[in-house]
Homo-oligomer: A and B are copies of this chain.
Amino acid sequence: MSVDGSEPANWSVEEEKNYDDWYLDEPAAPTKPAHEIILPCDPTVPDQLYHLILAPLSLAVLLTLSVLVKRRRLCKGWFNGVPGLLSPVNFLGQDGQKAGAAAVFGVLFCSLCRLVLDPNPLPFLTDSSLQYREYWKILALLYYPTLYYPLLACMSVRHGAGYFLGGILSWLHCGILIWQKAQCPEAPKFHRYYSLLSALPQIACFLLLSLLYPAWLLKKCKEDKKSKCDEVTESSYCLEYLQTLLKKKKKSSSQLNDCFPSQSWSSLNSYLYSPQQGFHLPLKLILSSTVGGICLYQVALLLLVVFLPTVQKIRAAIDMDAVLMLAGFGINFTQDREEAIILLKYYLWALEVCYVSALVLSCALTVCMLVRSLVLHRSNLKALYRGATSEVFLHDQRLRPSRSAIFCWMSFTSYQAALTCIGLLLQQLVFFICNIVITFLVIIPVVYGKNLLLFKILKTMWPFWVMVLLALILQHLCARFAFLQMSSTTRELNNRRALYMLTYLLFPINMLMGFLMGVWRIVISALFNIIHMCRLDISLLHRSVETFDPGYRIYYHFLKIEVSQSHPMMRTFCFLLMQPSTLGRPARTKNGDVEEGIQLMQSKTPLTKGVNSRQSRTRWWLAYTLLNNPSLAALRTARLVAVTPAPNGTPVMSPS
């Protein structure tokens, strides 16, 4: 079977070679190399067997872990004390297993890509059941997340057995996949290596998981010897965040010198995500970036293999017949037929170059946009953590969960992936057309002196261009030297009569310039929207209606949930409340009336002074903390009201 597996088996190799030339609907070219024939290949473990082994195994792992957790009641606080069906990763936590979760999402996303492109949604289906293909596809959309669910659950139980089972599972997945691809690297779909190349991210993710699980198991064994608490990583981040926040800020010297190199460096820096001490991105954003990156790779690969081999085949098959056929449609390049073949091949080659360069440009821009998104996510989150909602949202917003906020938070990662895909496709389409226009109307005419269509049009319009240019220069010169009176304190209008006269007399010429400006406005706004289509963190609509943009709306609500539910300071308070004497702090009973979070700040002060001075200092720290985090004030008040119904005597800040 050569192309789609539907030819009868008695086709000869010669016939198959001819079949490759069907693009021209012409009789066979005399001789062709046989390198396009892909021999059928059956791996030792076919897809069917792979799923038939791993699906029951995954289920078994899930059940085993559930029973294990139920029996030993591990980590009661983590599961709200009700073990049962295992939780996937804690999306709102900062628990140090981000790489593992991102790898599982990458694996899942690659499976989805294959699912969309494959005619057979589930590999273990027989041909007879494929008549209900739509239903099977829908079922497959739920099957794949379930298949990879144990890979997440094994890491979230934080138990040695979990890590062990997860490691076994990921080794199995990884081993079978690599074995399959090593045995059959070529496949007939799209391009001989497409199947292999599209599986690379999945293999990489499985490899990562296969390395992570043993590492976690090893770490767990070491930790079990020292202490029994798992949540040190959780609180250590919060502690780091708090210490960075409360540290005295050094005056950054880069803000002082506003020279051009430093400005350009800082603007370039805003497109590079460099980690900052004391701040980790939330898990959801890391997942979105990972999935976005893999999406970029898969779509770019697909775009490449769908177009390029086809055009290359057409180019190789161009001969006299093709030229004659084109001449039949009235397309004549030159009178000389040999030259026409060369020209036609050259033009097709130029088309390929346009396509590839458009793809490279689109991918580079999308990567830039995704990284820039990360930088903006960080600055937005930091601003919201310190309560500056109006910096991020233009208007003050109350950050609390709501129905639509929860829905948007749930679908954020998926929407980011979908938008990355759509944005890349749009960019590729637009840049390809632009490249074709530039190549065939500007570059080839300039280099070869042929098809000077655009230049002829521009040449006939030269009086118009000269007029526009002269009017532009005249107005700018007059505005600078005749109409503007600059003094040390003020700038005033001068020669008003001449200004009014010029304004009136140049009205028609300015209107022509207005048309040029209008075209530029269309181009710049369309380009801006196309390039920023993959970004959820900015709205494509005007600022007065920015939440009508569905993409920005998702982000807006996502931020609300993230900030209200995983504020690092709030998490530290909660953690300290739950674990009274961890981290070597003074015990809670010593000054029980002082809030817990403040104890953090005492780690570097000796406990020798009197209770009064300590209490006043802690009160000062409290005020400082609340001043730096106004969004906490409302929460604190609500909590204080709930705990002590009438807090007389203590100054309670009113929730603004």
* Chain A residues packing against B (C-beta within 8 Å): 79-80, 85, 87-92, 105, 108, 112, 115, 134-135, 138, 141-142, 144-146, 149, 152, 394, 400-404, 406-407, 409-411, 413-419, 421-423, 426, 460, 463-464, 467, 475-476, 479-480, 483-484, 489-493, 496-497, 499-515, 517-522, 524-526, 528-529, 532-533, 538-546, 548-551, 554, 561, 565, 635, 638, 641-642
**A138 vs chain B, min Cβ distance (A):** 5
**A409 vs chain B, min Cβ distance (A):** 8
Residues of B with C-beta under 8 A to A410: 475, 479, 499, 502-503, 506, 510
With A80-B497, A87-B500, A542-B528 already in contact, the answer to whether A463 and B134 are too (CB < 8 A) is yes
Partner of A510, one of B415, B426, B492: B415
Supplied contacts A87-B501, A403-B479, A525-B529, 15 more A-B pairs, CB within 8 Å = A80-B496, A80-B497, A91-B499, A91-B503, A108-B508, A145-B507, A149-B504, A403-B480, A407-B476, A410-B475, A418-B517, A493-B565, A517-B550, A518-B551, A522-B533
Q: How far is the CA of A101 from the CA of B493 in the complex (A)?
A: 22
Residues of B with C-beta under 8 A to A413: 507, 510
With A541-B528, A549-B525 already in contact, the answer to whether A509 and B141 are too (CB < 8 A) is yes
Copies of this protein in the assembly total: 2
A548 touches B524 (CB 8 A): yes
Q: How far is the CA of A415 from the CA of B105 in the complex (A)?
A: 51
Residues of B with C-beta under 8 A to A422: 515, 518-519, 522
Closest chain B residue to A91, Cβ basis:
B500
B511 touches A92 (CB 8 A): no
Closest chain B residue to A409, Cβ basis:
B503
Closest chain B residue to A376, Cβ basis:
B544
| Cβ contacts A to B, 26 pairs, < 8 Å | A79-B497, A85-B501, A92-B496, A108-B507, A403-B479, A406-B493, A407-B475, A409-B503, A410-B510, A411-B475, A414-B513, A415-B513, A418-B512, A418-B514, A418-B517, A418-B518, A422-B515, A489-B638, A489-B641, A489-B642, A493-B565, A524-B550, A525-B541, A528-B541, A529-B529, A539-B542
A418 touches B511 (CB 8 A): yes
Q: How far is the CA of A149 from the CA of B497 in the complex (A)?
A: 14
**A231 vs chain B, min Cβ distance (A):** 16
